[in-house]
Amino acid sequence: MAMEIKEPRIGVFVCHCGVNIGGFVDVPDVAEYAKTLPNVVHAENNLYTCADDGLTAIKNAIKEKNLTRVIVASCTPRTHAPLFMRICEEAGLNKYLFTFVNIREHCSWVHMKEQEKATAKSKDLIKMGVARAVLLEPQEEVKIDVRPSSLVIGGGIAGMTAALNLANQGFETHLIEKEPELGGFLRKLSTLYQTQESSAKAYEGLIKKVEANDKIQLYKNTTLKSLTGYIGKYDAVLNVNGEDKEIGVGTIIVATGADEYRPKGLYGLGEHDNIITLTDFEKMVKEDKVPADLKSVAFITCSGARGQDKEYCSRICCTVTVKNAMKVMEMASKGGDAEAKVEEASVDEKAVSDKEEEKAEEPEEEEGESRRRSRRDRRGRRGGRRRGAERGEERPKERGAAVDVTVFNRGITTYGIEQELLYNKSREQRVKFVRFVPENPPKVSMEDGKLTVSYYHETLKADRKMNPDLIILATPLTQRPDAQELSKMLKVPLGRDEFFLEAHVKLRPVDFATDGIFLCGTAHGPANITEAVAQAYGAASRASIPMSLGYVQAEAIVSYVDRERCSGCKSCEVVCPYGAIQFDEEGLAEVIVAACKGCGTCGSICPEKAITMTHYTDEQLTAEALAALEEVGT
């Protein structure tokens, strides 16, 4: 690969950065030392290499001394490499012939108290930079065309939202849904707590917009059959009602949603008609099939979650539980034998019962100031939950309350504003919350022909029993069974929780590591509608970037495969985090330049040494390492 090049002519610029470097490193001495290194024809020190006069000095030296390599020894490439590379380009030098040596973080900052060593290390690092610079080659960045069209997989609330946004930005959008109807999980729900309206109202409006949008190609009863390509140029085969259809797109959004986990046998699920899940209950409400004569209903949260089967917390089930607990109360109060006034009465009643609680709570005579404060505080803060609501269970049924609703829980996760306020309201309405620890969950059995929940009351430190008419399990959302296959087809990973795994858990929540593929909604993990919608817009934003530009700038630093050496073992494909390796007809590896990030993982795993990283060749790295191992000059 070595090109026919004239002897390299290197210029070195050492920066004082005021006291930042100059205060700890003997900068003029380092510059003098640089002059003694092989191929260095120019070295100087600047007060600020990044200031106008420093940049001019680089440009002038390139022209006047015919420099073919430039090294700046200063701060961090993170902030300053783009600047110096641009200056090189402006002076007619390929920017990949520039080398950055960081003597601030690596020398002056970390060796503030050892100034001689800081100076010696600066010299060492520059010597290494020179050794590598000699072997550098110019590189070109190529632009890769991106089709202005997207494939959105999944026609639930997230997929529809993302598709509409992309279409309204002007991009051709293919929306595929495996079911015969759009709407996804929302079709299973009754009333939404955010709006107090039916979920149908939310998704039907969206469906109308999707169907009316002429930029959206809608395919129902459709799945993704196969996929080839890379960012900008994905070729997909869809299975539309059993028939193949080929489409080409630039980007892909995964919005495949989630299922409700239904662990057979857990707390008797599937063994008794009156043991159901939250979604079963939603369906009951929706179809108006909630038994009219309910006297007692028990909810059990974290059923199969947080260490019981699944490790994760499913985020939304506490709020859905609270919503439905209130629903049970509301339905009972409206039902036949209930005192219909219960809702109107609830405010006054609360005042009365709070007083009762206060009395009941009044502790021993001598209590510390802090305790009094804490108690006062607690009442205000919790609406008397711990003592009040749980104690409520010991009292006769509330005046007017037609039904007794108990939520067995491991703590209630109603984060944020609305959800917490809803939780507070449910306590005002006398929903009872009884806490259990995971080591000792409630037990469900049939005793004397009656559904029985036996539990240990953590606050009262006593065993208790109750006989609910209905037990509703709050089970977590879980990944759909076909996700594994999709993950392989798209070459994007699933996490340990089996949900799709984003590129970075903090800062890239809707990106995959693979360019051109994005993620939103519950395919990513449990989320409520608002969160799924925000993510959907987010994914649409990310997908629109390369499509708006019409191209992506591929990395110049990528790997390439020596076909003579490749044995087709596929090790590289397995380790590549970006899905950037494909195989030709002969079974030999090829790098998809558009997808490669130049991380070098493939090169390090290749048993045949058939893969080389441009700009970080073995030869260049070895030269740098050998320079480091030599004694530093005087």
Partner 1 sequence: MEKKNVLVIGGGIAGIQASLDLADKGMQVYLVEREPSIGGRMAQLDKTFPTNDCSICILAPKMADCFGHDNINVMTYSEVSEIAGDAGNYNATVTRKARHVNEDVCTGCGDCNAKCPVKVPNEFDMELGMRKAIYLPFLQAVPRVMTIDEENCIFYTKGKCRLCEKACKIGAIEFDKGPEELKLNVGSIIVATGYDVWDPTPAKEYGYKKVQNVFTAMEFERMINAAGPTGGHIQRRSDGERPKKIGFIQCVGSRNPQLDHPYCCSVCCMHSTKEAILAREHHDDMESFIFYKDMRTFGKGFNEYMERGKSEYGITYINSDATVQENPANQNPIVVYDVAGKQEKMEVDMVILATTLVPRKGAKELAKLLDIDVDEFGFYESADKLLNPVDTKRPGIFIAGYCHEPMDIPEAVAQASGAAARAAELLSTKGVS
Site for partner 1 in 218-237 (CB under 8 A): none
Binding residues among 315-334 for partner 1 as defined by CB under 8 A: 315
Binding residues among 358-387 for partner 1 as defined by CB under 8 A: 363, 367-368, 370-371, 373-374, 377-378, 380-382, 387
Residue type, 286: K
Binding residues among 571-630 for partner 1 as defined by CB under 8 A: none
Scanning 263-271, 407-415, 556-564, 615-623 for contacts with partner 1 by CB under 8 A, the matching segment is 407-415
Q: Are 546 and 250 in contact (CB under 8 A)?
A: yes
Binding residues among 409-448 for partner 1 as defined by CB under 8 A: 411-421, 424, 435
The burial class, CB within 10 Å (0-12 / 13-18 / 19+), for 506 is: exposed
Q: Which of 9, 245, 508, 615 is in the footprint of partner 1 by CB under 8 A?
A: 508
**Measured CA distances, 627 to 15, 128, 497, 623 (Å):** 22, 5, 46, 6
- Cβ at position 150, least distance to partner 1 in Å: 12
Q: Are 522 and 477 in contact (CB under 8 A)?
A: yes
Q: Does 194 bind partner 1 (CB under 8 A)?
A: yes
Q: Does 506 bind partner 1 (CB under 8 A)?
A: yes
Binding residues among 199-218 for partner 1 as defined by CB under 8 A: 202, 205-206, 209, 213
Q: Does 95 bind partner 1 (CB under 8 A)?
A: no
Q: Which of 11, 229, 384, 538 is in the footprint of partner 1 by CB under 8 A?
A: 538
The most distant pair of C-alpha atoms in the chain lies apart, rounded to whole Å, by: 100
- Cβ at position 419, least distance to partner 1 in Å: 8
Nearest to 547 by CA among 203, 145, 65: 145
Q: Does 499 bind partner 1 (CB under 8 A)?
A: yes
Of 16 and 430, nearer to partner 1 (C-beta) is 16
Cross-strand bridge partners of residue 159: none
Per-residue contact flags (x/-) with partner 1 for residues 246 to 285, judged by CB under 8 A: ----------------------------------------
Q: Are 486 and 480 in contact (CB under 8 A)?
A: no
Query: What span, in angstroms and rounded, lies between the C-alpha atoms of 595 and 630?
Result: 38
Query: What span, in angstroms and rounded, lies between the C-alpha atoms of 426 and 325?
Result: 8
The pair phi, psi for residue 441, each rounded to 5°, is: -75, 165
Of 132 and 410, nearer to partner 1 (C-beta) is 410
Q: Which of 28, 36, 47, 570 is in the footprint of partner 1 by CB under 8 A?
A: 47
Q: Does 82 bind partner 1 (CB under 8 A)?
A: yes
Q: How many CB atoms lie within 10 A of CB 170?
A: 12
Query: What span, in angstroms and rounded, lies between the C-alpha atoms of 381 and 48?
Result: 57
Q: Which residue's entry shows tokens 């000059």?
A: 633
- Cβ at position 161, least distance to partner 1 in Å: 7
Q: How many CB atoms lie within 10 A of CB 333?
A: 21
Pairing of strands 559-561, 611-613: antiparallel
Task: Tell me how far the alpha carbon of residue 228 is from its chain's centroid.
Answer: 25
Q: Does 296 bind partner 1 (CB under 8 A)?
A: no
Q: How many CB atoms lie within 10 A of CB 67?
A: 23
- Helix locations, 389-528, DSSP H: 390-392, 418-428, 483-490
Q: Are 17 and 46 in contact (CB under 8 A)?
A: no
Of 2 and 505, nearer to partner 1 (C-beta) is 505
Nearest to 274 by CA among 473, 471, 450: 471
- Cβ at position 137, least distance to partner 1 in Å: 26
Nearest to 578 by CA among 524, 511, 522: 511
The residues, any chain, with a CB within 8 Å of residue 292's CB and separated by 6 or more, are: 335, 336
Q: Which of 169, 217, 221, 239 is in the footprint of partner 1 by CB under 8 A?
A: 169
Q: Does 633 bind partner 1 (CB under 8 A)?
A: no
Q: Does 542 bind partner 1 (CB under 8 A)?
A: yes
Residues in contact with partner 1, total (CB under 8 A)?
95
Of 20 and 221, nearer to partner 1 (C-beta) is 20
Of 102 and 617, nearer to partner 1 (C-beta) is 102
Binding residues among 515-534 for partner 1 as defined by CB under 8 A: 520, 524-526, 529-531, 533-534
Binding residues among 125-164 for partner 1 as defined by CB under 8 A: 157, 161, 164
Of 514 and 535, nearer to partner 1 (C-beta) is 535
Q: Which of 25, 34, 50, 486 is in the footprint of partner 1 by CB under 8 A?
A: 50
Of 229 and 525, nearer to partner 1 (C-beta) is 525
